[in-house]
Structure 1
């Protein structure tokens, strides 16, 4: 179907290091989605943004650069979110960014969830950590998540075709959601009907 404007795709790499396997995985997912839909891509690598975020414990303490970063996340039509696994969860940098995002700013948006780790034992981090976080924001997360271990990369380049196929499936699900623009609109809840009863 034709689109009047491209979708604003924002990818967030929660790794505190550069280069990173997480960044490589996100690039694979970004490229796969860009083939399916017209997108305008903003890439956020938190390794280079730590000083703009961690110096501000609350949103009102953000520098102009930090505020611009958070607003970029909030302005996305579709998010591709990735983090390395730290102690069974997402990185502290990743968590702090989403501590600063407006609680209703991502309602009705679409997100693809990804993570990297040293062992397959952490493969459910996308379900137990990332999906509940995005559920708080009212974001539509696609059913398929993408998790990769160190063994799936060679020199920071994804080389396991099974992970690539899983990324393709995830972005296919995201594209179908984005085709239904009504699902991307922010959620609204109608107030309950009230019936007034007069008594003598």
Structure 2
């Protein structure tokens, strides 16, 4: 499997690159089979990214980086925080990609900053960006402030996020029983189900479970062609009270 890391760190050495390397090592260790690990350092591509905006053509190094990112089985993206958001270099790189290039791609988001007060950059900036690009963003994002290095908690967050990305990469790269068309639609379906489960209020949620179509009429709910049926939350709650 191909795992690609995009690091927007500017200094050498860089805490952004350090976090990216730790996330990559943790993810690779959880993926069964060989892992083709590629690292894209945006600092080295800054000039070509700027030229791409003015002439519309990527240079050789930028083109290779775009090919790596768009062909990856999983992405780890890490940016330093500037003005309470991702860096301009980070955003510029993803602006030069085709709008559908990351559709269905598993992505782990991460950021570094000087203070823990900027930790919400993951939810307020990074997650919306990749949701717009229709990537499948893993539930756990990782933010590392200066005081987090060597402190308790960071290693656990890295391990949890890496495990989620590795599991998603394995699930989405496996063979699909419905053929190539279902395989192409699988990542987007997984994203929709994850977002629905995480964002829907409890009173509006419905329980989705697999069941043979034969028992759908007995439950009194309409069946679906894909073998699932939906039990409204109110009915589930009433059954628990009996």
Assess same fold via TM > 0.5.
Answer: yes
TM-score range, shorter chain: 0.7 to 0.9
The partner residue of 1:43 within 39, 45, 53 is: 39
Residues 33 and 172 of structure 1 are in contact (CA less than 8 Å); yes or no, is this contact kept in structure 2? yes
CA distance in 2, matches of 1:89, 1:150: 17
- The structure with the largest helix share of the pair is 2
The partner residue of 1:22 within 16, 23, 27 is: 16
Pick closer, same or farther for the CA change 1:144–1:114 going to 2, 3 Å: same
In the other structure, the counterpart of 1:72 is 68
Pick closer, same or farther for the CA change 1:160–1:70 going to 2, 3 Å: same
- CA deviation string 1:149-180 (max 9, x = no partner): 11223xxxxx2341111010001111221232
Matched, 1:176 2:167: yes
Greater C-alpha radius of gyration: 2
- CA deviation string 1:70-121 (max 9, x = no partner): 2221111100000000001111110010001111111111011100011111
Alignment of 1:110-149 (within 5 A): 110-149=106-145
Residues 102 and 134 of structure 2 are in contact (CA less than 8 Å); yes or no, is this contact kept in structure 1? yes
User: What 5-or-longer segments of structure 2 have no aligned partner?
Assistant: 176-182, 189-242
CA distance in 1, matches of 2:136, 2:114: 28
TM-score of the pair, normalised by structure 2? 0.68
Pick closer, same or farther for the CA change 1:182–1:12 going to 2, 3 Å: closer
TM-score of the pair, normalised by structure 1? 0.82
SS in 1 for 2:3: strand
Deviation at 1:183, TM superposition (A): 8.7
CA distance in 2, matches of 1:43, 1:59: 26
Residues 109 and 186 of structure 1 are in contact (CA less than 8 Å); yes or no, is this contact kept in structure 2? no
CA distance in 2, matches of 1:68, 1:176: 27
User: What 5-or-longer segments of structure 1 have no aligned partner?
Assistant: 1-6, 154-158, 190-200
SS in 2 for 1:56: helix
CA distance in 2, matches of 1:50, 1:76: 21
Residues 107 and 186 of structure 1 are in contact (CA less than 8 Å); yes or no, is this contact kept in structure 2? no
CA distance in 1, matches of 2:50, 2:109: 23
Figure out how many residues of one structure are paired with residues of the other and give that number: 178
SS in 1 for 2:153: helix
